[in-house]
Structure 1
Amino acid sequence: MKVITIESEAYKSLVRKIERIHSDIKKQAKEHATPQPDPSEVWVSDQEAATMLQVSKRTMQRLRSNGEITYSIRGGKARYTLAEVKRLLSGRVIRNDKTEGGKP
């Protein structure tokens, strides 16, 4: 390994330049970052919702008829907000906290 020595002021100047470059890169990343849309404002089609929920389009009709999912009809087609699909999806998660058959 080669040891290189520099003056204290030169080192401090180099560190300041590196910090400035780092902050400029972070600033550019923030400016070019795509803001995530609000799930309550993103609408998905019947087919997209069915795919996310891993159910058939007929099951989507049943969910609408039973009032289990809110929807909007636009141009004769059902649309759902992404937030509503996520709500329904999280409501169908089954947790396996219980032990089966007495096994831990």
Structure 2
Amino acid sequence: MDYVVIERIAFDAILAQIDECAGAVRILLKMITPRSLDDWVDNTVAKSMLKLGTRSLQTMRSSGRIGYSIVDGKVFYPVKEIDRVLTQSYKKYG
């Protein structure tokens, strides 16, 4: 069995980098994990899920085509609504 001896400062630096990587992995997992239909997403995530711009999403809200809530001036959409909009706009070919 081989032993490797390193200074405490180097060991702490390695641990800090591992913690940083673990945090980045947690963030990425949250982004790619399928959301429950009971969850809510903000305007930015809704735009990316629907592949729409800010103004298009505003028009959908104004016309009542998508449900939403505003909390402290920030717009949130239930994932159920986004799923419904995607299902309605999906066209089957063939």
After TM superposition, the score normalised by the length of structure 2 is: 0.60
- Whether 1:63 and 2:60 are equivalent positions in the alignment is yes
The residue that corresponds to 1:96 in the other structure is 93
Gaps of 5+ in 2: 1-33
Task: Kindly report the root-mean-square deviation, in angstroms, between the aligned alpha carbons of the 2 structures.
Answer: 1.5
The residue that corresponds to 2:80 in the other structure is 83
Greater share of helix: 2
Give the one of 37, 42, 48 matched to 1:51: 48
Give the distance between the partners of 2:35 and 2:57, measured in 1 at CA. 24
Q: Quick one: which amino acid aligns to residue 54 of structure 1?
A: K
Kindly name which structure, 1 or 2, has the bigger radius of gyration based on alpha carbons. Answer: 1
Runs of 4+ in structure 1 over 2 Å off: none
Gaps of 5+ in 1: 1-35, 98-104
After TM superposition, the score normalised by the length of structure 1 is: 0.54
Query: Are residues 54 and 76 of structure 1, via their aligned partners in 2, closer, same or farther at CA, if it must alter by over 3 Å?
Result: same
The residue that corresponds to 1:3 in the other structure is none
The residue that corresponds to 1:7 in the other structure is none
CA offsets per residue over residues 18-54 of structure 1, 9 Å max, x none?
Answer: xxxxxxxxxxxxxxxxxx86412x1100110010000
Q: Quick one: which amino acid aligns to residue 72 of structure 1?
A: S
How many residues align? The count is: 61
Query: Are residues 57 and 38 of structure 1, via their aligned partners in 2, closer, same or farther at CA, if it must alter by over 3 Å?
Result: same
Give the distance between the partners of 2:35 and 2:87, measured in 1 at CA. 19
